[in-house]
Amino acid sequence: MEFSEALRTVAKALRQAAEGKASAQAEAAEWKRRFELQMAQNQQLEHKGKSPGECNGDINAQQMENSTSQPMLRNEANEQSESCCINGLCSHEFLHDGETDSRGKAVQNKMMRKASFKLSWRCKGDENDQHKHDIVSFERGNITAAGRSSKQIHLKWESTPQTVLVMTKPNSTSVQILCAEMIRWMKEHKKLNIYVEPRVMGELVSESSYFNFLQTWKDEKEIMSLHTKVDLVVTLGGDGTVLWAASMFKGPVPPIVPFSLGSLGFMTPFYSEQYRDCLDSILRGPISITLRHRLQCHVIRDAAKNEYETEEPILVLNEVTIDRGISSFLANLECYCDNSFVTRVQGDGLILSTTSGSTAYSLGAGGSMVHPQKTHLAESHAFS
């Protein structure tokens, strides 16, 4: 057993080394590509004797080459784009979408720009870099720290939002009526591109042909690239709808605007009756936002499983529950943090919740409510 464990450890180390080498090679190739592109641009500037016709021919040939693969994602040739995360939310990207829908109607073929934005810290309405971190004072031996406020983080749009995703609570007539009304308003008054779930798309199109302009997705692959198209997510429902919207995005999540139309409302601060004023203010900006933390979970089902057969990580906004399942015996769990032993749990299971999830299952199991601005991880015992 010890020898097999050692082999698995060596195999894991070799795999990590190979992955690191591949990542380094990919990064080196990217920098080489950028260098060659810059050199080519410099050479074009030096050869000013080139005729305009030849230049136009090169541009047209490049455009034809780019149009063969659709949809196409590329970065804007701008120095400002280097300061933004390519895979994150603050990015300058173009999406060339030339697909057609099931009704044979061509989806917008023009170049769509995903709106970029900037986050800043503010204190009493004024932008101030001091408040990026807690301010600690040691004056007269009295240690104090500046408390954070939900109003400190501001979002300022650097370009106008163009695309909105609307997600709704299912099987609700009032939600369906408000959804249709809100979509009409956003299309007619704000000229926005609107995505909806396939279920909502079917309901609205069957109600009226007016909603044929709506866009949706067909498979998991299109869902994975949704964050590159959507600037804003609007949810109509309760906290469950917000959780469902967050689970749709396996990576970066666009800003979510949750309107309260459900039974619980810990994460739905906006009133549905005031959606026009709310959306108008949000689309204009700047606005105060609340950053909510998610857990990245890795499931290891069997110690004897092949090291190379790994599962995709799961991003969780609410909580993770580890329970005894159908077993009639109590679960014995040992909890570690950074390889340091924390505690041992004997019972039906364990609930590990984020600050957002502290008002859900964890609260029902006797846990404490934690402010969402905190970076804590709440632990509660599960009872069946």
Question: For residue 302, what is the domain's CATH number?
Answer: 2.60.200.30
50-to-36, 44, 58, 123 alpha-carbon distances in Å: 20, 8, 11, 55
Question: Are 168 and 279 found together in one domain?
Answer: yes
Most confident of the ranges 10-19, 22-31, 286-295: 286-295
Rounded CA separation 124/52 (Å): 55
Q: Are 211 and 188 in contact (CB under 8 A)?
A: no
Domain end (from 32, 48, 64): 48
Rounded CA separation 19/314 (Å): 21
**Containing domain of residue 34, as a range?**
1-48
Does the pLDDT at position 228 exceed 80?
yes
Question: Are 194 and 282 found together in one domain?
Answer: yes
Band (175; pLDDT cuts 50, 70, 90): very high
Please give the pLDDT value at position 314. 85
Task: Say how many domains are in the chain.
Answer: 3
Assess if residue 218 is contained within a domain: yes
Does the pLDDT at position 88 exceed 90?
no
Average pLDDT for 160-171:
93
Rounded CA separation 98/42 (Å): 33
Domain end (from 288, 305, 326): 288
Most confident of the ranges 46-50, 110-114, 195-199: 195-199
Please give the pLDDT value at position 103. 47
> Is 239 in the active site?
yes
What average pLDDT is seen over the chain?
74
Please give the pLDDT value at position 199. 94
Q: Are 213 and 194 in contact (CB under 8 A)?
A: yes
Question: Are 322 and 229 found together in one domain?
Answer: no
Does the pLDDT at position 106 exceed 60?
no
Please give the pLDDT value at position 190. 92
Question: Are 168 and 234 found together in one domain?
Answer: yes
Average pLDDT for 17-41:
78
Please give the pLDDT value at position 349. 84
Question: Are 210 and 274 found together in one domain?
Answer: yes
Assess if residue 341 is contained within a domain: yes
Does the pLDDT at position 188 exceed 60?
yes
Assess if residue 106 is contained within a domain: no
Question: Are 300 and 272 found together in one domain?
Answer: no
pLDDT digit string, tens, across residues 241-286: 998 999 888 888 899 999 998 776 788 889 999 999 999 999 998 8
Assess if residue 220 is contained within a domain: yes
Beta bridge partners of 16: none
DSSP 312: P
Spatial CB neighbours of 6, under 8 Å, sequence gap ≥ 6 = none
Does the pLDDT at position 14 exceed 60?
yes
**279-303 CB burial, b ≥16 within 10 A, e <16:** beebbeebbebeebebbeeeeeeee
Question: Are 248 and 355 found together in one domain?
Answer: no
Assess if residue 153 is contained within a domain: no
Does the pLDDT at position 236 exceed 80?
yes
Please give the pLDDT value at position 85. 42
pLDDT digit string, tens, across residues 360-381: 777 777 777 887 777 777 777 7
Average pLDDT for 99-128:
58
Question: Are 210 and 325 found together in one domain?
Answer: no
Q: One of 101, 231, 239, 302 is an active-site residue; which one?
A: 239
Does the pLDDT at position 301 exceed 50?
yes
Please give the pLDDT value at position 25. 79
> Cα-Cα-Cα-Cα dihedral of 135, 359, 378, 302, to 10°?
-140
Average pLDDT for 70-92:
40
Model-wide pTM > 0.75: no
Question: Are 176 and 263 found together in one domain?
Answer: yes
